[in-house]
Chain A
Amino acid sequence: MTPPALKIKELSVWLGTGHGRAPVVDNISFSIKAGDATGLVGESGCGKTMTAMAILGLLPASGVSVRSAGIEVNGKDISGLDSLQRRKVLGRDIAMIFQQPATALDPVFTMGQQISAVYRRHASGSKQHIRQTMLGALESVGFSQAEDIAAAYPHQLSGGMRQLAMIAMATVCKPAVIIADEPTTALDSSTRTLILQQLKRLQTVNKTAILFISHDLAVVSQACQDVMVMYCGRLMETTDCQSLFSHARHPYSAGLLSCIPRISETRPAPINSIPGQVPVATELPAGCHFAPRCTRAEAQCRNSVPKLDHENGRGAACFRPL
């Protein structure tokens, strides 16, 4: 049996701060099969980006401690690699699409130079071959005038075009896994839809596994089959998108769902929201971290930590699930 494209075992990230150490990712495990897309969803400050950075090994060595029982890409553990070995993996086996293409791209090189540089690091070939591959990557995200885009500097492209060009850059080596961190946030709906379409294409054509990070469940449901809901560094619920939308079991998932404004023919009822806000990592409440904001919380929720029971990859970490 082939191993999953991405398998995370018992990943934890602690930040050392003045007040002591604080957990920002708390013992999470999951896996994504080739060609699947899984959403990681939660409010800002829930540890989503920290999870991505820990998987890629991009967190600084000082002040942060990362523990895991394994981070496997296609069955190969990348958690213990030194920085030299890691550079051979990043971009070739696993790549990232960042939220802000404006800051993730280098302003002094053309898009063509930047995409070629990624390819040259991992593969060899004639100048002609490298150029063809680079143009091919741009064409594959839907640019028919790939030459023009390759010759452009990042600032000459609009936000959406930059994001598409960054997808071309992340996929030029056809990595097995792509982590997309809020790739459509701050883009308008037409651009967002086109970006999601490109990510779908990567799944079907390249069999890429995608970890899709977003605060917006509506976007996740368009981009992914499966979803993990994260709160204060813990996975609260893992399930497929359809089940989550039809029957969310964790009150936090239900809360996130109720926040999504919806288009309907008649005027919708006033929108709901989750009262309160995400606590900072140094002041996490005991028991279930969501208990202080939860309408269903009881004494048990404030004292002990509910476990996430995966049954066929589905489950909710809650004593009183819906």
Chain B
Amino acid sequence: MNTHVQSAGVPLLEIRDLSLRFHRQEQVAVDRVSLSITAGRTMGLVGASGAGKSTIARAILRLVTPDSGEILFKGKNIGLMNSQEMKTTRQRIQLVFQDPSVSLSPRRSVEQTLMEPLQHFAIGDMNHRNEKIREILHTVGLDESALRRYPHQFSSGQQQRIAIARALVTDPDLLIADEAVASLDVSIQAQILQLIQKLQMDFGISILFISHDLAVIRQIADDIAVMYRGQLLEQSPADPFFSHPAHPYSKTLLSFAAGKTPSNWTSDKWYLERSRRSADSTSACVFAGFCPDKMAVCEQIEPAVRDIQHKNQRALEPHCVKCHLYDAEQTNDQ
């Protein structure tokens, strides 16, 4: 099936110090983010709307150009690839969007939709392509009668299955799912999550799963990365993250997910948080304004990223936090 990169040490995708600022906006969309995805694992990227999650997904496919930093796919810098190499890379990295009713072309039948990637990347001959399309349809739980039909003839859940089939048809190494279940009913969401879990088990595919919903992330992610206003505040394997969330923002997100409003949050504060520009706070922690555990130092000095790995964790799985609360911990531990 897929050619997996299992060689130890080289992650499938590595993002180093990525920064991106949209022109004509003061806001930094992505601010010095480093992140890596190991082959066969699922990374859950979580944060509120506007945190920069989708911008990272776009940068990986070189749909937007970063101001600084680099993105390595299988060890190769995608910023330096020529158009032919980039085309090959895009075949290996596929994207599933939030709303299938918009991301599928209404004028193409399912067969045309699934055929296009194979034609574009010149994969196989006609027989192979026809076979491949039917195999993929079966994988996502649709039958051959779907081929002649058009997207509007399907329910939203089936449309999302078609969008996933289109992404899988090129046998990608990395699937980026950008809020792929956010616009679906809970029951349909459960069916799509089941499908993604099946893909993880059967194909061992790596997934960058972007979502604002921690409960959905919990269901399928092996690793968690938390973003807030362009910055990565915590990164950890899933189990230690959910048993011992370290960053105050992660704890805030978890209490929101449980339906609890942190005592210091009001409509006003939340409104301010959304409208504030991160350029205001270059010399402080981005979360300082809303942090329940704020200290004097948080307003003055940007915290460094610390590894607070627990004793019982494997050495290759760091638990990184960008917060002054853990400044002391590192010096004591080492």
**A interacts with B:** yes
Show the binding face of A for B, using Cβ within 8 Å: 43-44, 141-145, 158-161, 164, 186, 188-194, 196-198, 215-218, 222, 255-256, 258-268, 270-274, 277
Contact A43 B187 (CB under 8 A): yes
9 sample A-B contacts, Cβ–Cβ < 8 Å, listed by A number: A145-B268, A160-B270, A161-B274, A193-B259, A261-B213, A263-B214, A271-B194, A272-B194, A274-B190
Complex interface: stretch among B68-76, B163-171, B249-257: B249-257
Contact flags B37-58 to A (C-beta < 8 A → 1, else 0): 0000000000011000000000
User: Which residues in A have their C-beta under 8 angstroms from that of B156?
Assistant: 44
User: Which residues in B have their C-beta under 8 angstroms from that of A264?
Assistant: 218, 242
Contact A272 B190 (CB under 8 A): yes
Least Cβ–Cβ distance between A29 and chain B, in angstroms: 25
- B181-218 residues with Cβ-Cβ distance < 8 A to A are 182-183, 185-191, 193-194, 197, 212-216, 218
CA distance A256 to B270 in the complex (A): 31
Scoring B185, B243, B266 by chain A CB atoms within 10 A of each residue's CB, the highest score goes to B185
- A256 interface neighbour in B182, B183, B187, Cβ under 8 Å: B187
Contact A141 B267 (CB under 8 A): yes
Least Cβ–Cβ distance between A236 and chain B, in angstroms: 14
Contact B267 A194 (CB under 8 A): yes
CA distance A164 to B254 in the complex (A): 22
- A259 interface neighbour in B189, B197, B253, B261, Cβ under 8 Å: B189
User: Which residues in A have their C-beta under 8 angstroms from that of B191?
Assistant: 273
User: Which residues in A have their C-beta under 8 angstroms from that of B157?
Assistant: 277
Asked whether B13 is an interface residue with its Cβ less than 8 Å from the other chain, the reply is no
CA distance A192 to B213 in the complex (A): 11
Contact B261 A263 (CB under 8 A): no
CA distance A166 to B266 in the complex (A): 17
User: Which residues in B have their C-beta under 8 angstroms from that of A271?
Assistant: 190, 193-194, 197, 219
CA distance A264 to B217 in the complex (A): 11
User: Which residues in A have their C-beta under 8 angstroms from that of B219?
Assistant: 261, 268, 271
CA distance A255 to B191 in the complex (A): 12
Q: Which residue of B lies closest to A214 (CB)?
A: B186
Contact A189 B212 (CB under 8 A): yes
Least Cβ–Cβ distance between B143 and chain A, in angstroms: 14
Contact B185 A270 (CB under 8 A): no
The interface residues of chain B, by DSSP majority, are classed as helix
Given A263-B215, A277-B155; A189-B185 close (CB under 8 Å):
no
User: Would you list the 7 A-B pairs with minimal beta carbon distance, nearest first?
Assistant: A142-B267, A259-B190, A273-B190, A188-B212, A222-B259, A261-B215, A265-B243
User: Which residues in B have their C-beta under 8 angstroms from that of A142?
Assistant: 266-268
Least Cβ–Cβ distance between A265 and chain B, in angstroms: 4
Q: Which residue of A lies closest to B192 (CB)?
A: A273
User: Which residues in A have their C-beta under 8 angstroms from that of B189?
Assistant: 259, 261
Given A261-B193, A270-B197; A193-B186 close (CB under 8 Å):
no
Asked whether B279 is an interface residue with its Cβ less than 8 Å from the other chain, the reply is no
Least Cβ–Cβ distance between B241 and chain A, in angstroms: 10
- A273 interface neighbour in B187, B253, B258, Cβ under 8 Å: B187
Known: A261-B213, A267-B218. 13 other contacts (CB 8 A): A44-B185, A158-B274, A189-B256, A191-B49, A215-B186, A259-B190, A261-B189, A263-B254, A263-B258, A265-B243, A271-B219, A273-B194, A277-B155
Scoring A256, A260, A261, A277 by chain B CB atoms within 10 A of each residue's CB, the highest score goes to A261
User: Which residues in A have their C-beta under 8 angstroms from that of B185?
Assistant: 43-44, 215
CA distance A196 to B239 in the complex (A): 29
Q: Which residue of B lies closest to A142 (CB)?
A: B267
Given A44-B156, A277-B157; A188-B261 close (CB under 8 Å):
no
CA distance A244 to B238 in the complex (A): 30
User: Which residues in A have their C-beta under 8 angstroms from that of B49?
Assistant: 158-159, 188, 191
Contact B194 A270 (CB under 8 A): yes
Least Cβ–Cβ distance between B140 and chain A, in angstroms: 14
Contact A262 B215 (CB under 8 A): yes
User: Which residues in B have their C-beta under 8 angstroms from that of A218?
Assistant: 186, 215
User: Which residues in A have their C-beta under 8 angstroms from that of B214?
Assistant: 189, 263
Given A217-B186, A265-B243, A268-B219; A197-B155 close (CB under 8 Å):
no
Given A188-B49, A265-B239, A271-B197; A259-B268 close (CB under 8 Å):
no
CA distance A143 to B270 in the complex (A): 10
Least Cβ–Cβ distance between B20 and chain A, in angstroms: 21
User: Which residues in B have their C-beta under 8 angstroms from that of A265?
Assistant: 239, 242-243
CA distance A198 to B265 in the complex (A): 13
User: Which residues in B have their C-beta under 8 angstroms from that of A189?
Assistant: 212-214, 253, 256-257
User: Which residues in A have their C-beta under 8 angstroms from that of B187?
Assistant: 43, 215, 255-256, 259, 273-274
Least Cβ–Cβ distance between A215 and chain B, in angstroms: 5
Least Cβ–Cβ distance between B103 and chain A, in angstroms: 16
CA distance A218 to B218 in the complex (A): 15
Contact A190 B215 (CB under 8 A): no
User: Which residues in B have their C-beta under 8 angstroms from that of A256?
Assistant: 186-187
- B284-307 residues with Cβ-Cβ distance < 8 A to A are none
Q: Which residue of A lies closest to B197 (CB)?
A: A270
User: Which residues in B have their C-beta under 8 angstroms from that of A268?
Assistant: 218-219
Q: Which residue of A lies closest to B273 (CB)?
A: A190
User: Which residues in A have their C-beta under 8 angstroms from that of B155?
Assistant: 277
CA distance A143 to B215 in the complex (A): 29
Least Cβ–Cβ distance between A164 and chain B, in angstroms: 6
Least Cβ–Cβ distance between B98 and chain A, in angstroms: 9
CA distance A217 to B259 in the complex (A): 13
User: Which residues in A have their C-beta under 8 angstroms from that of B215?
Assistant: 218, 260-263
